[in-house]
Structure 1
Amino acid sequence: MAATTTNNDLDATRRNKKPRLLQEGERARLDEYIDSIGYSARYNDSEYEYRHVQLPKAMLKAIPRDYFDPAKGTLKLLWEEEWRGLGITQSLGWEHYEVHEPEPHILLFKRPMNYQAPQ
């Protein structure tokens, strides 16, 4: 799957320069948490629809350190290949645009209103 194009309003310094895929052993450590990932209902404004994804807190300890922003101590903004590799499943078009810093296990996603997947 090709990398999602970075939106102009995302800070590219907050993500890896290119997707850093999980190795098999790293992925295996995350498997026990996948069924406990929570997904919010969608909500929107006039431009985007949004949702947040809640990772189990213990899962953060199993995610490789280079997925984290050392300055903030929270996850970096993840490429689609990265968040899908962690076990987050959602339809096409979603982009990870923020981490809810008071609760770093909550990842915020958005996509344009009326998104149509490429044919």
Structure 2
Amino acid sequence: MAKKLKHFFSFQFLGVQVPDYSQFDTMSRPRYLTESERAKILEFQDMIHYSPRYTDDTHEYRHVMLPKSMLKAIPQDYFNPESGTLRILLEEEWRGLGITQSLGWEHYETHAPEPHILLFKRPINYGQ
């Protein structure tokens, strides 16, 4: 992550550094699963575990635990080549993996020591 941040500001516009969003996976188009990839993934859907929600002053959080064996069925381009963990997934991508949650959740981190755990957040009182 530090390596990415180092190159985050790539050019200046009117004397102001402008971020280079192209380096971040969350700014790109979703990579949808093929039919055969989706068939392999959906075998695990009933084994996905959702934590209770927890909050701070601004966000509510939850973590989603994928079955460890499911990681082998996920396409390699869903992984960060530097860390080997799942990269930050767009909503269409994590929903394609069979993760089902109400609207507003954002995948913001993968727990590196346990790469099958995905961390999600959304603004507190979202949709109210």
State the alpha-carbon separation in 1 of the partners of residues 24 and 36 from structure 2.
Answer: 25
Of 32, 46, 49, 1:35 maps to: 46
Match of residue 101, structure 1, among 93, 108, 112: 112
Q: Supply the AA of the counterpart residue of 2:83.
A: K
Q: Distance in 1 between matches of 2:70 and 2:44?
A: 6
Residues 1:77 and 2:77 are matched in the alignment: no
8 A Cα contact 1:14 1:76, kept in partner: no
Residue 31 of structure 1: how far off its partner (Å): 1.5
Secondary structure of the equivalent of 1:104? Answer: coil
Segments of 5+ residues of structure 2 without an aligned counterpart are: 1-20
Runs of 5+ consecutive residues of structure 1 not aligned to the other structure: 1-10
In 1: Cα distance, 2:47 partner to 2:61 partner: 20
Q: What is the SS of the residue equivalent to 2:101?
A: coil
Which of 36, 41, 52 is 2:63 aligned to? 52
2:16 aligned partner: none
Q: TM-score, normalised by structure 1?
A: 0.86
Q: What whole-Å deviation, never above 9, does each CA across 1:53-79 have from its counterpart, x for those lacking one?
A: 000000000000000000000000000
Q: TM-score, normalised by structure 2?
A: 0.80
- Aligned residue for 1:30, secondary structure, equals helix
Partner Cα separation in structure 1 for residue 34 and residue 121 of structure 2? 27
Length, aligned pairs only: 107
Listed as ranges, the matches of 1:105-116 within 5 Å are 105-116=116-127
Which protein is richer in strand relative to its size? 2
What is the CA RMSD across the aligned residues, in angstroms?
1.5
Greater Rg over alpha carbons, structure:
2
Name the % identity: 65
Q: Secondary structure at the match of 1:60?
A: helix
